[in-house]
C-alpha cells in the first residue's frame, strides 16, 4: 500500500517522535512505534476499502498509538526493568530533597552487597535515562558525590 500526499506529509511530521525511543520497560513495550502506527493506518485504509492510506487513516492510527503509549506509560511508568536501578531510584526519591552520597547508596540502599563498579553502572543507567543526577560537595578531604532523583535543574 502507498500513502497519498497528505498522509506522506503527516508521516514526515510524525516519524521523528515515533522513532525516538524511550528508556526502560516503557521503551521495550513501545519500541517500533513507527511500524505499528503504519500497520494501524493500513488496517484503517483496508477497513475503509481504500487502496491507499489517506491522512485520516494515519491520523486515526496515530491517535490509537498515542492512547496505547499513554496506557503503557501509566502501567510501567519510568521503571527500567533493572532491579538495582529501580531500587536505587526509589531510594533517591525517598531521600529528597537531601539526596544520597555514594556511601549512603552503598551502605544504606545496597547494604554493602554491590560492588562499586555495579553501583557506578546503575548510576550511569539512571543518569542516561534522565532519572538521576549528581552534585559534587566539597568536604575536608576529597569531594563527595551527592545523588538526587530527577533531572538536574538548569541554572
- What pTM, to 2 d.p., does this model score? 0.66
CATH of domain 83-149: 1.10.10.10
Confidence label for 19 from pLDDT (cuts 50, 70 and 90) = very high
CATH of domain 2-76: 1.10.8
Confidence label for 80 from pLDDT (cuts 50, 70 and 90) = confident
Answer whether 101's CB lies under 8 Å from 146's CB: yes
Torsion sign, CA atoms 111, 116, 122, 127? positive
Q: Matching CATH topology for 2-76 and 83-149?
A: no
Q: Who has greater pLDDT, 118 or 152?
A: 118
Confidence label for 117 from pLDDT (cuts 50, 70 and 90) = very high
Does residue 62 surpass a pLDDT of 80? Answer: yes
pLDDT of res. 152: 83
Percentage, residues of the chain above pLDDT 70 = 99
Distance CA 144, CA 102 (A): 8
Q: Where are the domains of the chain?
A: 2-76, 83-149
Does residue 10 surpass a pLDDT of 90? Answer: yes
Amino acid at each position: 500500500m502507498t500513502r497519498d500526499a497528505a498522509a506522506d506529509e503527516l508521516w514526515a511530521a510524525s516519524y521523528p517522535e515515533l522513532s525516538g525511543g524511550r528508556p526502560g520497560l516503557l521503551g521495550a513495550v513501545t519500541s517500533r512505534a513507527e511500524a505499528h502506527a503504519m500497520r494501524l493506518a493500513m488496517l484503517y485504509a483496508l477497513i475503509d476499502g481504500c487502496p491507499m492510506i489517506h491522512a485520516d487513516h494515519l491520523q486515526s492510527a496515530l491517535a490509537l498509538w498515542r492512547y496505547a503509549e499513554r496506557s503503557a506509560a501509566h502501567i510501567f511508568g519510568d521503571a527500567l526493568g533493572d532491579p538495582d536501578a529501580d531500587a536505587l531510584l526509589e531510594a533517591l526519591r525517598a531521600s529528597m530533597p537531601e539526596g544520597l552520597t555514594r556511601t549512603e547508596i552503598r551502605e544504606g540502599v545496597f547494604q554493602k552487597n554491590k560492588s562499586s563498579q555495579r553501583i557506578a553502572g546503575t548510576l550511569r543507567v539512571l543518569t542516561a535515562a534522565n532519572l538521576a543526577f549528581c552534585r559534587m560537595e566539597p568536604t575536608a578531604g576529597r569531594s563527595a558525590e551527592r545523588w538526587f532523583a530527577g533531572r538536574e535543574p538548569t541554572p
